[in-house]
Amino acid sequence: MPPSANDTGSLAPHASLARSAIAPYARRVVNPPRLKLLSRLGVPSHMSRLLARLVAVAILLSVAAPLPAQPLPGAIAARIDSLFTAFNRTDAPGLAVAVVRDGRMIFAKGYGMADLEHRVPITPSTVFDVASVSKQFAGMAIAMLIGEGKVRLDDDIRRHVPEMADIGAPITIDQLLHHTSGVRDWPGTLGLAGWQYDDVISFEQILTMAYHQRSLNFVPGSEYTYSNTGYNLLAETVQRVTGQPFRGWTDANLFQPLGMTRTVFRDDHTAVIPDRALGYTRAPDGRWRAVTNNLTALGSSSMMSTVEDMARWVINFDSMRVGGAQAMALTRTRGVLNDGSTIPYAFGVSHGEYRGASTVNHSGSWAGFVTYVLHVPQHRFGVVVLANAPQVNPTRAAQQVTDVLLGSALAPLAAATEPPVVQLPAATLDAYAGTYKLGPGWYAQVRRDGNGLTVQASGEGVGPMVARSERELWVPNYGASMTFQRDGTGRVTGLLYRERVSPRMPDREPAPAPTQDYIGEYFSSELQATYLVEARSGGLIVRHRRRGVGVLIRRWGEDFTGTLPSMRSVAFVRDARGKVNGFVVNIDERSRDIRFAKVR
């Protein structure tokens, strides 16, 4: 069994922090009026001070002591256990769950194994990498510093981090918080630069890559697109304006006041963290594989915690002991785009709804860890799920626990209904058939198939399309609809898929250019990365000294997909003379338009 939170060894890394945490309480107790009162009662001065310090220690320990779960009725606890029977085994990773209601932790339990090699089970005291759940702590830090007048929402990030290049438009603290900045996401850009995910990926490396960006995904404030890099810049802002390490500031101002003694931002990938779970993934042969985790992405990720500590954090959403009402309200502020529309995302949390109740939530995923925190404010209720294998669906797990404990207090679950199926005329089917660009390197072929249509996206299988109306066709394989669009003349111009317009491509694809046009060496000054494009077997390959060799697959015209990671689209560009002088890589929606120049 792993050591408990009361073991001296497990608390040793926090000893110096504990001493510093006692000081504020000691100052409150050891003050002149109280000392005079003790003196009049005949207590010697040295004993007065000792007594005061003992009281201070008692206060601290009462805050930091393990949060005991108030026992649930056995039948209800058994219903929760039944949700996780498949993970309650000794030969597989699993999860820990905690539930809070009305300011108390009412349930906490672990299922499965924290460490398969050493046969260590998961308990409520097991430490997990909470991944992107970390962002709400950076969000609270910024909100508190705003309250202190040290940061403003409309500050350009360059005011605090001048190493960021001037890309032609201000990037505000507000935009970084709400993922509307346009700053590229480091998991994709570092991958394209040559990093493997099991490499050491340090906070400093992430910042250096951000400093080298010379363009953005989009005009700041014009859209919402998730960016981990934005929260790393926020953590660096905390360090710059406070003069303290981000880990130290969060320890002193967030974790210690709430008694979160097992929680820390990992700023050293070699640090020993007692009771820490390992992340796992299942290999194609069915066996479990450990996932290396050498990341120190302060602000966006890399926070280590337990469900017991996270329960304290969720309780604070209602009590507001840390941060206060003003900062807490600020952290719930939705983002506003340039066109005035609002988005669900706030300060490291997202607004949502479950069974008619408003929720605040966030998920996380990294190195085999998957996590989710759910808060239902109107019921003063929350669920924390931390898992060490992606086979666990933490969002669904939290919802199922919510169903058990809130039950009839929520709106009924929506009954599954089959939407009507419409038979489209042959002329309509023929009009919709064609190629649509879903994104860079990502195209959908819509084809006529008897009395219906099928769709096949780049690199994927063929799937049926089910007409729900004349324009909307449901794609079961995607769990989403495609809605066809026409212009004023009735010509089909594109389709709407997941709220994005995908234009229809010309009926005739351009003829392929000679392979020789593309061969050469390409360099990105932003990434300090070089790729070689070579001819092989009548086609093209791309080579990187660390990532190896991949194939370039032509998708449309001069837009290719690379089989190497982070190369969804490799679109070659030409100069005014028609000569290929570079290519542009689009990794995904989070990292776009990364330019490589042809250097030879």
CATH of the domain at 593: 2.40.128.50
Residue 594's identity, in one-letter code, is: I
Q: Based on the domain organization, do 453 and 520 belong to the same domain? A: no
CA proximity to 213, closest of 188, 179, 234: 188
* Residue 414 pLDDT: 80
Query: 414 to each of 80, 245, 400, how far by Cα in Å?
Result: 22, 48, 14
* Residue 25 pLDDT: 37
Residue ranges making up the domain that contains 133: 79-182+217-409
* Residue 413 pLDDT: 85
SS3 string, 24-59, reads HHHHHHCCHHHHHHHHHCCCCHHHHHHHHHHHHHHH
Q: Could you tell me where the beta strands, DSSP code E, fall in 70-222?
A: 95-101, 104-111, 113-115, 120-121, 128-129
Q: What are phi and psi of 228, to 5 degrees?
A: -60, -35
564: three-class secondary structure by DSSP: coil
CA proximity to 121, closest of 388, 365, 367: 388
Q: Based on the domain organization, do 255 and 378 belong to the same domain? A: yes
- DSSP for 2-14, written as a single string: PPPTT-HHHHGGG
Q: Which residues of the chain have pLDDT under 70?
A: 1-69
Residue 418 inside a domain? The answer is no
* Residue 54 pLDDT: 46
Q: Based on the domain organization, do 20 and 164 belong to the same domain? A: no
CA–CA separation, 373 and 223 (whole Å): 25
Query: 511 to each of 425, 433, 539, how far by Cα in Å?
Result: 33, 21, 15
Q: Which of 468, 503, 538 is the last residue of a domain?
A: 503
Q: What are phi and psi of 175, to 5 degrees?
A: -70, -35
* Residue 49 pLDDT: 55
Q: Which of 503, 537, 558 is the last residue of a domain?
A: 503
CA–CA separation, 1 and 13 (whole Å): 20
Residue 148 inside a domain? The answer is yes
Residue 266 inside a domain? The answer is yes
- In the block, residue with structure tokens 């195209």: 443
Residue 56 inside a domain? The answer is yes
CA–CA separation, 359 and 382 (whole Å): 9
Q: Based on the domain organization, do 491 and 544 belong to the same domain? A: no
Please name the residue ranges forming H helices in 65-161.
Answer: 74-83, 135-147, 157-160
Q: Based on the domain organization, do 95 and 227 belong to the same domain? A: yes
Q: Based on the domain organization, do 247 and 268 belong to the same domain? A: yes
User: How many structural domains are present in the chain?
Assistant: 4
Q: Based on the domain organization, do 396 and 444 belong to the same domain? A: no
Q: Based on the domain organization, do 343 and 478 belong to the same domain? A: no
CATH of the domain at 372: 3.40.710.10
Residue 44 inside a domain? The answer is yes
Q: Based on the domain organization, do 278 and 334 belong to the same domain? A: yes
CA–CA separation, 138 and 499 (whole Å): 29
What crossing angle do the helices spanning 186-193 and 228-242 adopt, rounded to 10°?
Answer: 100
CA proximity to 15, closest of 77, 55, 51, 64: 64
CA–CA separation, 479 and 497 (whole Å): 11
Q: Based on the domain organization, do 148 and 279 belong to the same domain? A: yes
Residue 305 inside a domain? The answer is yes
Residue 448 inside a domain? The answer is yes
Q: Based on the domain organization, do 274 and 162 belong to the same domain? A: yes
* Residue 67 pLDDT: 64
Q: Based on the domain organization, do 355 and 443 belong to the same domain? A: no
Taking the CA atoms of 2, 7, 13 and 17 in sequence, report the sign of the dihedral they define. Answer: positive
Strands of the sheet with 264-265, listed across from one edge: 128-129, 303-305, 264-265
